Amino acid sequence: MNASPLPVKQIHTQHDLANFQKSLSHNVIKTHLIQIVQLVQGIPSPPGSLDPKVVRMTVAQNTNARVLNLPPPSKTVESLLPMPYQAGSQAIIGILQSLRNWVREIPPVQVKSRFGNPSCKIWHAKLNAEISEMLCQHLRLLYTSSARLPTFEQLMVELVYYFVNSFGSSVRLDYGTGHELSFLSFLVGLFKYDIIHFVPLTASQALNDHHLMADELLAMFGAYYDLARDLIVAYTLEPAGSHGVWGLDDHFHLIYILGASQLLTETSPLLLRPSQFLKPATLESHYVELNLFVNAISFIKRVKTGPFNEHSPLLYNLTSVISWSKILKGLLRMYDVDVLGKFPVVQHFYFGTYLFPWCDMLGRPFKETSELEETVTDGVNTPPTFPSTRVAGVTTIPSTRAPGSGVPVTKVPWSGKTPTSHPGVFPGTRRGPVPAANLYRGNGF
């Protein structure tokens, strides 16, 4: 049987974006995202799964650190690792670690440009040349084909595509949330065809199964984020589609969702309040190695200078939110709007035959854009809610309100001007570090 064709671009217009939001692929991605968030709830990242050197600040940047009364999680963490990972999970972690070694083998060249080192193109060329063989070598024996399923070769064409596109663009030399989405999609593809046996929380029969699946997920994401940050720093990758100071983060979003879920319950060994995650002592502690949210904050502190509330106001506002459950709800909604619902991001998400087909929920292919009378608008799209699945108080992602709905204009402290409305991230809020209580109250949290 012939190999499957490469995934192709299908999102060209706002009408295509609307189709995507009611597509089978959209539903599959969101359903798995919720299930992953459920699984990692209250679970620290396995020891050794996050390299602190990737994100750790220098001593000079932390001269004002003071001691916080943070509970040590080490004993609890050790008890969560009773068994080895599945072969598929081990293979992905090993491949990601090998790709990270390539960054050291292909050092950046001396150039004057602010963003995009040419050595990144060499790294991507090596990835394109070798990744198919690497994945096939480790995954072929883990896939069981049948007359109703694609052959391994057909499936690998699409899996390789999403994996390769998880590490930024070799043309634009940038990295952003669309590439992070591509890695999530790659994992979903492995789960969908049982190359990695994915056990949702609702189907787990034993606590050890739940913990082991969570550990595997967090270990794979940890290896991925270590590699992504190495690429960003070594090759000075430009933020792709960044909102600047008005966005959550220049490069990432999903990492904060996973990290917030890890901190969600009182049963978690990581007992950290939202008001503490920016404290220097927190960023110098074990939390950097055991929680993705704190790990991501530490990376920002490494690569950015200046007051945190100025270069990352949305994250700064989260220190005033009362609970991680509210933070998680807000981050999930933002992901629905700013990643899955943003044309500049999902226009680069391609569709194939088996993993993510371009069809509606009933499997009917969407019509080509050229066959439709298309009117492109600049309006704010209101995407559908996530599946009604409980995540520690999160049943669905609330629908977003129209811009300007109930939050007063707040002047940016450092500008003296009244900023304009910034739809999409938190509809109805104003640019700049709005007090967190107002920010969330105005958006249905």
User: What is the distance in angstroms between the CA of the first residue and the CA of the last residue of the chain?
Assistant: 51
d(CA 276, CA 283): 9
d(CA 413, CA 317): 13
Is 334:248 a contact under the CB 8 Å cutoff? yes
Is 91:139 a contact under the CB 8 Å cutoff? yes
Is 219:89 a contact under the CB 8 Å cutoff? yes
Give residue 32's pLDDT: 97
- Name every residue whose Cβ is closer than 8 Å to that of residue 9 and which is 6 or more positions away in sequence: 347, 348, 350
Is 340:29 a contact under the CB 8 Å cutoff? yes
Give residue 172's pLDDT: 92
Q: For 2-47, what is each residue's pLDDT tens digit?
A: 667 899 999 999 999 999 999 999 999 999 999 999 999 999 999 9
| Helices and strands in the chain, H and E counts | 17, 2
Q: For 97-151, what is each residue's pLDDT tens digit?
A: 999 999 999 999 988 777 889 999 999 999 999 999 999 999 999 999 888 899 9
Is 321:436 a contact under the CB 8 Å cutoff? yes
Give residue 147's pLDDT: 80
The DSSP symbol for 422 reads -
Q: For 239-283, what is each residue's pLDDT tens digit?
A: 986 666 678 888 999 999 999 999 987 666 678 999 999 999 999
Q: Decide: helix, strand or coil at residue 94.
A: helix
The DSSP symbol for 10 reads -
3-state SS of 217-261 is HHHHHHHHHHHHHHHHHHCCCEEECCCHHHCCCCCCCHHHHHHHH
Mean pLDDT of the chain: 79
User: Virtual CA dihedral for 269, 54, 177, 161, nearest 10 degrees?
Assistant: -110
